[in-house]
Amino acid sequence: MGQNSGHQERGKKPELALSETMEAEAEVQSNKDEAKELKAKERRLTSVFGVADLKNGAIGLYNLGQSCCLNSLLQVFLMNIHFTGILRRITVPPCAAQRRSNVPYQMLLLLEEMQRGKRKAVRPTELACCLSAHRVELFVQHDAAQLFLRLWNLIKKQMKKLELVEELSDLYTICVQEHLACQNCSFEIKNNSCMLTLPLPVLDSNSHRLKTLEDCLQYFFHPEELTGQNMCFCQQCGMKTPFLKSMKLVYLPQTLTIHLKRFCFEKSSYTHKLSHYLPFPRDLDFNGVLTENQCHADDNEKATWQYDLFAVVAHSGSASCGHYCAYIQSLTERKWYCFNDSQVCQVSWDDVKCTYGHSNLHWGETAYLLIYMKKHPQQPYPGLSECLGKL
């Protein structure tokens, strides 16, 4: 018994060694194959210029579970050739686990898939899984303005090249100067800060409806008196005094995102949607909207404050239950398209104007995010990098 057992053990050793060698060779080959595949992907990705070229037509995105908000924002990002120009120059993460959790890389793969095939729509499954790992869940009613900020911050955080981070910030970041002045003395505080969207109220302080986008902009930059319970402590007076709070525009980016605050929060914690009529222009010139006292920029900077409307993220339904779609103008074709999840069709400017809203259609479609593109770009504001840490 012992001898037979010993022969059997001796016979197994060469087989075991051979098996280990084969496994090692297989692993080496697998690593080589993975490296080749990664290089091939890198070569393909460097040739991606953006869905806005529309080489294969406008491509939709399937709804994966209340993902209409995510789909609309992805289309706005990927139809922007300035954004995709940055995206296609990212550093590809070295290992599979990092690639699965990297939002910019997964967006780039989705962009490639949208351009490669002839399908009318693709499934953003891998990107959705990646975002879920970063607590951007499916089957949740997202707010488009909040989700835009989360996506942008994830993209910026996971970009490894400093120059790309700076380009991304220059592309989207707004710079304003906040000003507080004591009404009893000459004490004042000035502070530059940055934001990714202009959050414009659609009602004034008396709950009266603002009639146009230009009215909303003027109201946002209009000085506010801080009195009563809102008084501030003045270091020079040594007590709380009335202050005048104002905001001045310093720098506007290539891609300007305006958030129309159509969801109203009441004291009862009930949220309702403001669906009233609010027109917005195709061409927006801030020099014709804001006064000199509402701007803090030189003439060269203000000369670039002329914009064309690029996209509208529209919401239909109520504050608690609704649906998003995106109207986007191709930067190459100059044609408008409606991206409604997997359904994409060409539309007219009159169709886009239907998102102005209507007082009697509370469940109707209304513009929620407006994205404007600068007509005449200029060099970024030199002090912008100092403000970015405050985002």
Work out the angle between the directed axes of helices 68-78 and 103-116 (0-180°, nearest 10). 80
The residues near 5 (Cβ < 8 Å, ≥ 6 apart) are: none
In 3D, which of 366, 70, 61, 73 has the Cα closest to residue 209? 366
Give residues with Cβ within 8 angstroms of 95, minimum separation 6: none
Tokens of 72: 């609309």
CA 62/CA 333 separation, integer angstroms? 24
Is residue 316 within 8 Å of 141, Cβ to Cβ?
no
Angle between helical axes of 144-158 and 162-172 (0-180°, round to 10): 160
Burial of 109 by CB count in 10 Å (0-12 exposed, 13-18 middle, 19+ buried)? buried
Where are the extended beta strands (E) located within the chain? 60-61, 121-122, 174-182, 188-195, 198-201, 224-226, 232-234, 239-241, 243-251, 255-261, 263-265, 271-273, 283-285, 306-317, 322-329, 336-340, 343-347, 366-374
**Two tokens at 94?**
């070295």
Residue 293: count of CB within 10 angstroms of its CB: 11
Q: Specify which residues 200 forms β-bridges with.
A: 260
Nearest-angstrom CA–CA distance, 102 and 112: 16
DSSP assigned state of 210: P
Which tokens in the block code for residue 302? 């203000």
Whole-number Cα distances in Å, 341 to 7, 18, 111, 148: 67, 53, 15, 17
Catalytic site positions: 68, 323
Q: How far is CA 237 from CA 140, 180, 225, 234, 292, in A?
A: 50, 14, 18, 5, 30
